Amino acid sequence: MKLTELKAIQLAELFSALSDTSRVRIISILIEGEMSVSALAEELKMTESAVSHQLRGLRQMRLVRARKSGRQVFYTLDDKHVIDLFQRGLDHVLHG
Amino acid sequence: MKLTELKAIQLAELFSALSDTSRVRIISILIEGEMSVSALAEELKMTESAVSHQLRGLRQMRLVRARKSGRQVFYTLDDKHVIDLFQRGLDHVLHG
DNA sequence: TGAATAGTTGAGCAAGTATTCATATATTAT
DNA sequence: ATAATATATGAATACTTGCTCAACTATTCA
């Protein structure tokens, strides 16, 4: 197939977005709908700081979008392609 | 969606398999057909040791299978689901 | 048998990453 | 204005990971 080095890097980066347990859990929750940082933190039993750090990464990868409302920030999923990959990966894990 | 911790870990591990440039390049070559370690190493301009280390990981994840012939070892792809994920990821990278 | 070839493996190192902690910013409430 | 709340961020730390190097096994060739 002979990928260029650039394409190989981009592909690895794409999958890296989903290669961490915390990010996987964040995404699995956001599939239900938008949620604030503190609500995510409570759900995940993680500190708000740790969640915020991961959300920054997901933001930079354009996987989530932030909406500010008062002093809260609500996050939603923003990349249909990656979410589709996520669902397919999940199918694989759940049934064969 | 509320994944169990175990499922989240398994999903992250699945995507981790494809989250490194070297592994992506190895898989992209093996899509064409089986290849020996040294041939892979030459194609990828990597040492045989580095390739062998990555192949071990891919073997443990059941992504590739090894076939020994004389003193050579030929590797082929072994997990259709993950290869399907790979192709979808590639589509995403190649066209939008 | 001895030398050469193909691959594997473990140790060690360098680079990357996720979390915590402390601090900073922004918004709301009193 | 002050205090409290929600989030973001930088530095430090602990952990992970991919590579190199050296040593090892297995196979073929002379």
pLDDT tens-digit readout, B78-89: 999 889 999 999
CA–CA distances in Å: residue A10 to residues B24, B41, B61, B89:
10, 21, 22, 10
pLDDT tens, residue by residue, A4-32: 999 999 999 999 999 999 999 999 999 99
- Mean pLDDT throughout A72-93? 94
> Is pLDDT of B33 > 80?
yes
Tell me the average pLDDT of chain B: 95
Cα atoms in the Cβ-side hemisphere of radius 13 Å centred on B42: 4
Q: Note whether A89 and B85 are within 8 A (CB).
A: yes
Q: Reduced to 3 states, what is the DSSP secondary structure of residue B26? A: helix
Q: What is the domain class of A17-94 according to CATH? A: mainly alpha
Architecture of domain B5-94: Orthogonal Bundle (1.10)
Within 7 Å: CB of A16 and strand C? yes
List the one residue out of B69, B59, B63, B67 whose CA is nearest residue B15: B63
Mean pLDDT of A23-43: 97
- DSSP-derived 3-state class of residue B2: coil
Q: What is the mean pLDDT of residues A55-65?
A: 96
Encoded amino acid at A71, one letter: R
Backbone angles phi, psi at B20, to 5 degrees: -130, 140
Question: Is a pLDDT exceeding 80 seen at residue B35?
Answer: yes
Query: Quick one: pLDDT band at residue B24, thresholds 50, 70, 90?
Result: very high
Residue A79 is encoded by which pair of tokens?
């990349």
pLDDT above 90 (res B1): no
Which nucleotide is the nearest neighbour of A69, by CA and C1'?
C27
Distance CA B40, CA A38 (A): 48
What residues in B contact A96, CB-CB < 8 Å?
A: 81
Q: For residues A5, A6, A7 and A8, what is the CA-based torsion angle, rounded to 10 degrees?
A: 50
In percent, the amount of chain B with pLDDT more than 70 equals 100
And the tokens for B29? Answer: 């070559």
pLDDT bracket for residue B44 (50, 70, 90): very high
Is pLDDT at A96 greater than 80 in this prediction?
no
CB proximity A49–strand D (7 Å threshold): yes
Judged by CB atoms closer than 8 Å, whether chains meet at A93 and B10 is answered as yes
What are the structural domain ranges in chain A? 17-94
